[in-house]
């Protein structure tokens, strides 16, 4: 069963913040975040491993609550270049040796 | 240099035909994957190879057959194409072991359209 992402879509103005959530019903040992721009390949943003570690990548950061099997991606002071579809990918024993992706969150940043 | 490359980028063909998609990575990775992304953007793994050995084989019709001649190449052959096979197929690679703990690098995708 794939992880659930919310919201499905969000529209922001430049400079605004957004949070994208990813929730799994299965125990996880890692959560991955990827961004895909229209017509392009998904691009890796970050991995969060079991341990509740928070990571950052420029003005994009993420957290992982392994007890709740949830991760959140935080985009601060959004830029036009942040537009795209954000996917979380989850890995855990019950998923086998593979990454299972959520349905994606479409983010559109307007000027 | 392109890290993960795929050919062709676009493939338009008729139902019943057989076609192949090729993938190459120059990252020195041991593990390669095929993903299918449907029209709703849902990204689903199909196969994974680790150093030429098949390690993941999802519930994919046996019309799909992957082949890895060496660890830098992973090809996908599809027999008797059907309308429902229309999608974007992505190749990806990562360092072994474990798909869950290392990042994956995706190729540019092959958009397959079956008419």
Q: Which domains does chain B have, with CATH numbers?
A: 4-98+105-114 (2.60.40.10)
Question: Whole domain around residue A93: which residue ranges?
Answer: 4-110
What is the widest separation between alpha-carbon atoms in chain B? 39
Query: What are the pLDDT digits (tens) for B60-105?
Result: 899 999 999 999 999 999 999 999 999 999 999 998 766 567 889 9
Which two three-digit tokens encode residue B50? 């680790």
Query: What are the pLDDT digits (tens) for A64-83?
Result: 998 899 999 999 999 999 99
Instruction: Say if B100 is an interface residue toward chain A (CB within 8 Å).
Output: yes
Which two three-digit tokens encode residue B35? 């993903």
* DSSP-assigned beta bridge partners for residue B32: B49, B93
What is the distance between the alpha carbons of residues A37 and B30, in angstroms, rounded to a whole number? Answer: 27
The strand order across the sheet containing B4-7 reads: B4-7, B19-25, B73-78, B64-70
Average pLDDT, rounded, for chain B: 92
Confidence (pLDDT) at A54: 67
Residues 61-90 of A with CB under 8 A from B: 85, 87
CATH classification at residue A21: 2.60.40.10
What is the distance between the alpha carbons of residues A20 and A29, in angstroms, rounded to a whole number? Answer: 19
Contact A68, B18 (CB under 8 A): no
Q: What percent of chain B lies above the pLDDT cut of 70?
A: 96
Instruction: Say if A3 is an interface residue toward chain B (CB within 8 Å).
Output: no
Q: For residue A52, what pLDDT band results from cuts at 50, 70 and 90? A: low
Number of domains into which chain A is organized: 1
Instruction: Say if B56 is an interface residue toward chain A (CB within 8 Å).
Output: yes
Q: For residue A49, what pLDDT band results from cuts at 50, 70 and 90? A: confident
Local structure of A28: helix, strand or coil: coil
Confidence (pLDDT) at B68: 94
* DSSP-assigned beta bridge partners for residue A47: A32
The dihedral over CA atoms of A105, B39, B73, A36, expressed in degrees to the nearest 10, equals -30
Average pLDDT, stretch A90-105?
87
What is the distance between the alpha carbons of residues B34 and B2, in angstroms, rounded to a whole number? Answer: 18
Instruction: State whether A103 and B101 contact (CB < 8 Å).
Output: no
Query: What are the pLDDT digits (tens) for B12-56?
Result: 999 999 999 999 999 999 999 999 999 989 999 999 998 888 988
Chain A residue nearest residue B58, CA to CA: A98
**CB-CB neighbours of A89 under 10 Å:** 27
Q: What percent of chain A lies above the pLDDT cut of 90?
A: 73
Beta strands in chain A (DSSP E): 4-6, 9-13, 18-23, 30-36, 42-49, 55-57, 60-65, 70-75, 84-91, 100-101, 105-110
């Amino acid at each position: 069963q794939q992880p659930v992402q919310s919201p499905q879509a969000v529209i922001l103005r430049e400079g605004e913040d957004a949070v994208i959530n990813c929730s799994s019903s299965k125990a996880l040992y890692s959560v991955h975040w990827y961004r895909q721009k229209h017509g392009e390949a998904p691009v890796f943003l970050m991995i969060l491993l079991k341990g509740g570690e928070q990571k950052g990548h420029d003005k994009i950061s993420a957290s992982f609550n392994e007890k709740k099997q949830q991760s959140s991606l935080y985009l601060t002071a959004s830029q036009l270049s942040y537009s795209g579809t954000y996917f979380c990918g989850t890995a855990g024993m019950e998923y086998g040796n593979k990454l299972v992706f959520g349905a994606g969150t479409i983010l559109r940043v307007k000027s | 240099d392109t890290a993960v490359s795929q050919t062709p980028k676009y493939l338009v063909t008729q139902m019943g035909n057989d076609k192949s998609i090729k993938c190459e990575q120059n990252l020195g990775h041991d593990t390669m994957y095929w993903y299918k992304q449907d029209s709703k953007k849902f990204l689903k793994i199909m196969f994974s190879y680790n150093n030429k050995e098949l390690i993941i084989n999802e519930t994919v019709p046996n019309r799909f057959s992957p082949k890895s001649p060496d660890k830098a190449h992973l090809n996908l052959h599809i027999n008797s194409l059907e309308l429902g096979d229309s999608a974007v197929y992505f190749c990806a690679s990562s360092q072994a072991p474990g798909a869950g703990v290392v990042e994956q690098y995706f190729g540019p995708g092959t958009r397959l359209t079956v008419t």
